[in-house]
Structure 1
Amino acid sequence: MDSLDEVIHQPVRLKIMAALKALPARESIEFVRLRAIVGATEGNLGAHLATLEKCGYVQMEKDFVGKKPRTSIAITKEGRRAFEGYVDHLRSILDGAA
């Protein structure tokens, strides 16, 4: 990777990707929990998730618990690779500055 992934580099999306990457493979997190971790508003988080989903970095599933809607978010294999590449690039910058 020659440059930082601009999609991930945005601070809220970076927090989202870090939170999702911390989950075990194929695990998801509920929107409400992710919102609390990231510290974003519902609308702001939804917009950032839409951007990440469009890039193929996250997958969202919607269902109902009783009559209440629930959205679950998981990082995709592509998203995991992109985040790992992003972190590797940051490490190479830091190693080069030392």
Structure 2
Amino acid sequence: MKGFNQLNKAFESRVRLGIMSVLLVNDWVNYKEMKDTLGLTDGNLASHVASLEKLNYIEVKKEFVGKKPQTSYSATKLGKAEFQKHIDGLERLLKGG
């Protein structure tokens, strides 16, 4: 089954699937938006972001806005390509191969 071979273990988690889905349609998403959109705890978001960052699928930007620290996320070119392959594989599986 060709579709099955395209699936990426990095996106098996519903949280990582959610993170990548949000980042595919937004250039940058800040921490609070991501956490609220997906309904995650701080620790849950942090661990999944770390995994995706380690694979170079997302970029993490830390900066100060005024005097407050802000963390934002963006999908890398590699991350977008790998996620699209995963989605294509899922579609093939759903269509029967």
> Residue 19 of structure 1 corresponds to which residue in structure 2?
22
Tell whether 2:8 aligns with 1:5.
yes
Give 1:3 shift: 4.4
TM-score, structure 2 as length reference: 0.91
TM-score, structure 1 as length reference: 0.90
1:14-93 alignment, distance < 5 Å? 14-23=17-26, 27-93=27-93
- One-letter identity of the residue aligned with 1:4: L
In structure 2, the gaps of 5 or more residues are: none
Report Cα offsets for 1:35-88 as digits up to 9, x if no partner.
111111111101100000000100000001122110010000001001100000
- One-letter identity of the residue aligned with 2:54: K
Percent of residue pairs bearing the same amino acid type: 37
Give yes or no for contact 2:24–2:80 (8 Å, CA) kept in 1.
yes
Q: RMSD of the alignment, in Å?
A: 1.3
Give 1:15 shift: 0.5
Q: How many residue pairs are counted as aligned between the two chains?
A: 94
In structure 1, the gaps of 5 or more residues are: none
* Structure of higher RCO (CA pairs closer than 8 Å, 6+ residues apart): 2
Give 1:29 shift: 0.7
